[in-house]
A and B are shown apart, each in its own frame.
Chain A
Amino acid sequence: MKFKTFAAFVGPSLFMMLVFIALPLVSVFTQSFYNTQPVFEQVEIESCTPGFPDPVCVTRTETKPILGEDGKILTQTRFTGLESYRNVLELGRVKDALANGSWRQLMAIDFWKALRFTLTFTLLTLPLVVVVGLAIALAVNNAAKSLRGPVIFISLLPFIITPVIGALSIRWLFIGDGILTSFLEWWLAQDIAMFAQGWTIELMMLFYRVWHVAPFAFVIFYAGLQTVNQDTLESAIIDGANRWERLRYVIVPHLMPLIVFVALIHLMDCYRVFEEIVGFSSQSHVISLQWLTYDFLTPDDAGNRSIGRASASAMLTMIGIVVLLIPLLTRTWRDHKGSH
């Protein structure tokens, strides 16, 4: 292909990627080193609020931002270097916790608590998604032709549902005297509260995520299964390979690039786990890194938000994803080089 044609095809996407991915990333990166704060003054303010029967007036010293001449809050931005990162990572407290050898103390620090959950969540769901996805793909592939359409449709449903809605549906099935909790209570004949402790919530999150993502893995693997060399399979059968051995030595090696692909996408997606935290309102028990960023970014009633720490936490999340992806990327790179 001529370079000009190539450029004409790739140009628009490159431009989009620059505007919507690269620039925001650079902006977040820069913001994580700066801190913008309003200029405050201390003022005595008398405020009157309703009471019965007469209004109640109190005078208090309040800290209020100063308004500039344009009617906007006066702000000052200063370079803070790594301060936001230090505030997120809280390394001083980590050192204390490690010195005491106390896991509990370490888990009391937001970032590390979030990292612990994010990592276990990502690494536990990964094999489950791959295995469940592969199992569905094999089942569909071996199902009678007339059944395939409906089975594919039904197995794709969880993937189509908006993540937050999916999480909320599971929450409603289990919260309080939800249908499934009531069923479990009847079945096990004991009182069950799924949202009362951390591990049951984590279990529901794992279940939800696998339920939601497995169809994606299934679609990819199912497509891959259509390209398995039938001659190789037949010769394997003639050689006396049983079902398991055919899977182990013919199908899985053939699907390996796809498995790596699914793993890559899943790691990237899963490390940003967020819907589950909001959907299950699990903040008291487990939080994730993405939720931490969101929490920094959400303004409170008085309108405060901490952009600096949110940016730092977002950058740390990105670094985390890159670190997780390195083994898979190097593997893909080796295969790519090897095939030439």
Chain B
Amino acid sequence: MYLRNLVVSGAISLMGTGAFAACSYENETPVSMLSAGFEAWKAVSDAMAECGNFTAELDQEFRTKQPAAFAAQPSLYTIGGVSNGTITPLMNEGTIRPLDDLVAKYGQDLSPNQLIRIDGKIMAIGMMVNTQHLIYRDDILTDLGIAVPTTWDEVLDAAEKIKAAGVVDYPLGATMKSGWNLAQDFNNMFLGYGGQFYDENNMPTVNTDAGVNALETLKAITAYLDPEYLVSDSTYVQQQLQQGKIAMANLWASRAGSVDVEGESQVVGKVNTAAAPLAMEGGAPATTIWWDGVVIAANVSDEQADAAFRLIVEGLDTEMVKANNGAAVWLIPGYDPDRLAQGAIATLTAQPAPQAYPSTSAMGLMHTAIGNGVSDYLTGAKDAATTLADIEAAYLTSAKEAGLIAE
């Protein structure tokens, strides 16, 4: 009881808004949810709260809290909001339940695209996709007569022209904050050059041509960035874009909507999105595909799981999407892609298509090693080969320690 009170008081309590207005039934069983805190989650949890007896905790630290909270007996939350990156520890620890029977019972209206299957079982219900793609100032490109770039070479050419024209502070923006963000930018480029992170025995394979090319392209990009790029995360780039300081960025689709927010953005209506640029001819766009969705804890009663799933169906319905169409690139039937969703859709439908982010135990270690290692190349402390060799060495140490590689 104490814990529950704590959760209720500490969380953004969403109960009671709308007083069961738009919900088709009244929920009797208490259900709680822990998810990330961006706009789409707010929309979904608001819709779920309309049925009553529901508390949501929207917390950007969810990825650290979730594994421990779901491992508790009973689980501290019934529903978890996850992405294809953060579902891995829950899958590994077996703390979320297969949803096949519940989908059969209540999920007639879900689109097949929403059913996230792992090893043949439906483990999560997807609600939106996310990807890093090109967001650009349409007015600037039109004024300067630059075609929308489709490859990174073209992006760099365009950046040079924009720099020469001097219309913005910095031609490009990038989420290169050291750590997770920087690693993800490297990953995008590395996959764009056709790289593979590790082989079947979990031995690292980043010290390759693809790795060197990825590093060199990143370095070339930094010439057009705010010199403080190593501390710039998604929010920082979003603000640079909103304040008209940059002209282009390879930024998350979930951030695109913010450029049209009146009062916050100075570039309303001037920004368009396009597919993530290619790193090399004939390759896939240099990015990864992510999905966000919901899972149900294994350590809760079947009755609670049942109630939770009904809430999910209610929260992820067409009505919610129609009311929040611009908040995300929804997977839910009834979604009408707007101007800013074009980039995400072009990225997803590209041939060859970019990979979904390959979340595994080994990839987690690799991501950390890359995040800690790449900045040494960008600051000039190491050359490309040394940087990649050191990343492989750091990965090997962690992988041996974690037991992924035999000694």
> Which of A63-71, A148-156, A208-216, A232-240 makes up part of the contact surface?
A63-71
Q: Does B8 contact A (CB under 8 A)?
A: no
A interface size (C-beta, 8 A): 62
Q: Does B7 contact A (CB under 8 A)?
A: no
- Bound form: Cα–Cα A110–B348 in Å: 38
**Cβ A46 vs Cβ B117 within 8 A:** yes
**Cβ A108 vs Cβ B364 within 8 A:** no
> Which of A4-12, A47-55, A329-337 makes up part of the contact surface?
A47-55
- Bound form: Cα–Cα A37–B368 in Å: 18
**Cβ B376 vs Cβ A303 within 8 A:** no
- Residues from chain A with a CB closer than 8 A to the CB of B404 are 40, 63
**Cβ A301 vs Cβ B126 within 8 A:** no
Residues facing B in A31-47 (CB within 8 A) are 35, 37-40, 42-43, 45-47
- Bound form: Cα–Cα A76–B378 in Å: 39
- Bound form: Cα–Cα A90–B364 in Å: 22
**Cβ A60 vs Cβ B358 within 8 A:** yes
- Bound form: Cα–Cα A42–B403 in Å: 12
Known: A87-B397, A87-B401. A50 touches B126 (CB 8 A): yes
Q: Which residue of A54, A72, A303, A309 is within 8 Å of B112 (Cβ)?
A: A54
Chain B interface bracket (under 10, 10 to 19, 20 to 34, 35 or more): 35 or more
Known: A73-B92, A108-B386. A50 touches B372 (CB 8 A): no
- Residues from chain A with a CB closer than 8 A to the CB of B231 are 175, 195, 280-281, 284
- Bound form: Cα–Cα A176–B368 in Å: 26
**Cβ A108 vs Cβ B365 within 8 A:** no
Q: Does A190 contact B (CB under 8 A)?
A: no
- Bound form: Cα–Cα A35–B398 in Å: 11
- The distance from the CB of B126 to the nearest CB of chain A, in whole angstroms, is 5
**Cβ A52 vs Cβ B345 within 8 A:** yes
Interface centre among B88, B289, B353 (most CB of A within 10 A): B88
Residues facing B in A191-232 (CB within 8 A) are 193-198
**Cβ B365 vs Cβ A196 within 8 A:** no
**Cβ A50 vs Cβ B113 within 8 A:** yes
Known: A56-B356, A295-B372, A303-B67. A196 touches B227 (CB 8 A): yes
- Bound form: Cα–Cα A55–B84 in Å: 14
Kindly supply a per-residue 1/0 record for chain B positions 72-100, scoring 1 wherever the CB is within 8 Å of any chain A CB and 0 otherwise. 00000000000011101100111000000
- Residues from chain B with a CB closer than 8 A to the CB of A46 are 117, 119-120
Q: What number of residue pairs across chains A and B have CB atoms under 8 A from each other?
A: 175
- The distance from the CB of A147 to the nearest CB of chain B, in whole angstroms, is 40
Q: Does B402 contact A (CB under 8 A)?
A: yes
Q: Does B256 contact A (CB under 8 A)?
A: no
**Cβ A285 vs Cβ B379 within 8 A:** yes
Q: Which residue of A54, A73, A281, A302 is within 8 Å of B364 (Cβ)?
A: A302
- Residues from chain B with a CB closer than 8 A to the CB of A67 are 93-94
**Cβ A107 vs Cβ B353 within 8 A:** no
Known: A71-B94, A72-B93, A283-B372. A37 touches B403 (CB 8 A): yes
Known pairs A63-B361, A64-B361, A196-B228; list 20 more (Cβ under 8 Å): A47-B117, A52-B349, A55-B115, A56-B353, A63-B360, A65-B92, A84-B401, A176-B228, A194-B228, A196-B230, A283-B179, A284-B378, A284-B379, A295-B372, A300-B365, A301-B364, A302-B359, A303-B89, A303-B92, A306-B402
Q: Which residues in A have some Cβ–Cβ distance to B below 8 Å? A: 35, 37-40, 42-43, 45-58, 60-65, 67, 71-73, 76, 84, 87, 104, 107-108, 110, 175-176, 193-198, 280-281, 283-285, 295, 298-304, 306, 308-309
- Considering the complex of A and B, which 8 residue pairs feature the smallest CB-CB distances, nearest first? A302-B364, A303-B89, A37-B403, A284-B375, A196-B227, A284-B178, A300-B364, A195-B228
Q: Which residues in B have some Cβ–Cβ distance to A below 8 Å? A: 63-64, 67, 71, 84-86, 88-89, 92-94, 112-120, 126, 129, 177-179, 182, 200, 202, 226-228, 230-231, 236, 289, 291, 298, 331, 345, 348-349, 353, 356, 358-365, 367-368, 372, 375-376, 378-379, 381-382, 386, 390, 397-398, 401-404
What are 25 inter-chain pairs, A to B, with CB distance below 8 A? A37-B401, A38-B403, A49-B116, A49-B289, A50-B113, A50-B129, A50-B331, A51-B113, A55-B115, A56-B353, A63-B404, A65-B93, A72-B71, A72-B93, A84-B401, A104-B381, A108-B382, A283-B178, A284-B230, A284-B375, A301-B88, A301-B89, A302-B362, A304-B402, A306-B398
